[in-house]
C-alpha cells in the first residue's frame, strides 16, 4: 500500500495487495424516476448552502422542471423551515413519500420524520450516513427532473456516502468571501475530483451589501477572492449572492418560493443546458 493511499480504490491506478474493487453505488427506489442529481456542498458551515439549494430548486421549478430536495444535512436540517413545511412524511409498505411544497417541490428531510422539530439528532456518523442513503433508496421520487442534495459542511461521512452511493451528476460549491475560504474550497474540490464528481460552479454568498441610497456595493468581509479561487480550481461558472435582508426574511418566514431574485440566473441557465444533454 502506498504511503499516499486515500482508501479510494476506484480512483487509484496502483495494483497493490490491499486493492479492493468495491461498488458502493445504490439504486434509487424502484418506483423513483430521477434525471439529474446536483449536490450543493460547502467546506465549512454557515455560508448559506441551504439557501442556495432552496433557491436553485425554486428557480428550476419556475422554469417548468419537476424539482426535489434531498436534505442530507441530518443534524442541521433547515430546508423545511425555508419552505414553511410543518407536516410529517407518510408512507406505506412500498416506501416513503416526500412532502410537496406549496409550488410542488418534493422535499425529504429528517425534520419531517421527527415528532418535534427541535428534537436533536444525536447519532454517530455511520447512522447519519445510513439515514441519508435511505432517503435515496426508500423514498419514492416520482418524475424528478432535478434533485438537489443539501449536503452537510465538510468532507466527512455524508458527502462520502452521497458521492459513492448516488448517481451525482455534479456539484455546486458554496463559499463566502473570507481569505481562509480558498483553502477550504480546495479541500471540497479535491474530494470531488477524488470521487470523479464534476464541479459545475461556485457561489459566493454574503459577497457584498448594496447601499439602498446610493447603490454602492460594500464588501463587508473584505475584498472578494472568488475569481482567484475559481481560477485556481478550474471552475468557470461563478455567482455572487449579496447580504440581502429579503433573502433571510424569506427563509425565516417559510416564503422562499415567493422570493424574486436573479442572482443565480447564470447557474439556472447552465442547468437548463445540462438537462438537454
Distance CA 26, CA 24 (A): 6
Confidence of residue 108 (pLDDT cuts 50, 70, 90): very high
Query: 2-11, 42-51, 123-132, 144-153: lowest mean pLDDT where?
Result: 2-11
Higher model confidence: residue 186 or residue 16? 186
What is the reported pLDDT for 2?
56
Indicate whether this model's pTM tops 0.85.
yes
Distance CA 104, CA 227 (A): 35
Distance CA 135, CA 158 (A): 12
What b/e readout covers 162-191, taking b as 16+ CB neighbours within 10 angstroms? bbbbbebbbbbbbbbbeeebbebbeebbeb
pLDDT value at 7 more than 80: no
pLDDT value at 34 more than 90: yes
pLDDT value at 19 more than 60: no
Q: How many degrees, rounded to 5, is the angle at CA 197 between CA 194 and CA 201?
A: 115
Strands (E) in the chain, as ranges, are 34-41, 67-71, 90-91, 96-97, 99-100, 106-108, 144-150, 170-175, 199-204, 209-210, 217-218, 237-240
- Provide DSSP, 238-256: EEE----HHHHHHHHTT-G
pLDDT value at 66 more than 60: yes
**Looking at the DSSP assignment, which residues form a beta bridge with residue 97?**
90
Confidence of residue 182 (pLDDT cuts 50, 70, 90): confident
Give the residue among 150, 135, 193, 130 at the shortest CA–CA distance from 56: 150
CA distances from 110 to 128, 165, 167, 214, 252 (A): 10, 19, 21, 44, 18
Distance CA 119, CA 5 (A): 39
Q: Is the CB of residue 213 less than 8 Å from the CB of residue 185?
A: no
258's grid cell: 415567493
Distance CA 186, CA 169 (A): 20
What is the reported pLDDT for 12?
64
What is the reported pLDDT for 176?
87
Distance CA 34, CA 142 (A): 7
What is the reported pLDDT for 268?
96
| Residue-range domain boundaries for the chain | 26-276
| The CATH fold of domain 26-276 | Rossmann fold (3.40.50)
Q: Is the CB of residue 26 less than 8 Å from the CB of residue 105?
A: no
Amino acid at each position: 500500500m502506498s504511503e499516499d493511499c486515500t482508501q479510494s480504490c476506484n480512483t487509484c491506478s496502483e495494483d497493490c495487495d490491499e486493492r479492493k474493487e468495491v461498488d458502493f453505488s445504490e439504486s434509487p427506489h424502484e418506483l423513483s424516476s430521477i434525471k439529474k442529481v446536483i449536490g450543493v456542498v460547502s467546506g465549512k458551515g454557515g455560508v448559506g448552502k441551504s439557501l442556495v439549494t432552496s433557491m436553485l430548486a425554486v428557480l428550476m421549478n419556475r422554469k417548468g422542471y419537476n424539482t426535489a430536495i434531498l436534505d442530507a444535512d441530518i443534524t442541521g436540517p433547515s430546508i423545511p423551515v425555508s419552505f414553511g413545511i410543518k407536516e410529517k412524511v407518510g408512507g406505506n409498505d412500498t416506501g416513503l413519500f416526500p412532502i410537496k411544497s406549496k409550488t410542488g417541490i418534493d422535499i425529504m428531510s429528517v425534520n419531517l420524520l421527527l415528532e418535534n422539530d427541535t428534537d436533536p439528532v444525536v447519532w454517530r456518523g455511520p447512522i447519519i450516513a445510513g439515514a441519508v442513503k435511505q432517503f435515496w433508496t426508500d423514498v419514492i421520487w416520482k418524475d424528478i427532473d432535478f434533485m438537489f442534495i443539501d449536503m452537510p459542511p465538510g468532507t466527512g461521512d455524508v458527502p462520502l456516502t452521497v458521492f459513492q452511493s448516488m448517481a451525482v451528476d455534479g456539484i455546486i460549491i458554496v463559499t463566502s468571501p473570507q481569505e481562509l475560504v480558498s483553502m477550504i474550497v480546495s479541500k471540497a474540490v479535491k474530494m470531488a475530483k477524488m470521487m470523479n464528481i464534476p464541479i459545475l460552479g461556485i457561489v459566493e454568498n454574503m459577497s457584498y451589501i448594496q447601499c439602498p441610497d446610493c447603490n454602492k456595493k460594500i464588501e463587508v468581509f473584505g475584498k472578494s477572492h472568488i475569481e482567484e479561487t475559481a481560477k485556481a480550481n478550474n471552475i468557470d461558472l461563478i455567482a455572487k449572492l449579496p447580504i440581502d435582508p429579503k433573502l433571510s426574511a424569506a427563509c425565516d418566514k417559510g416564503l422562499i418560493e415567493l422570493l424574486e431574485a436573479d442572482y443565480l440566473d447564470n447557474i439556472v441557465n447552465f442547468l437548463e443546458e445540462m438537462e438537454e444533454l
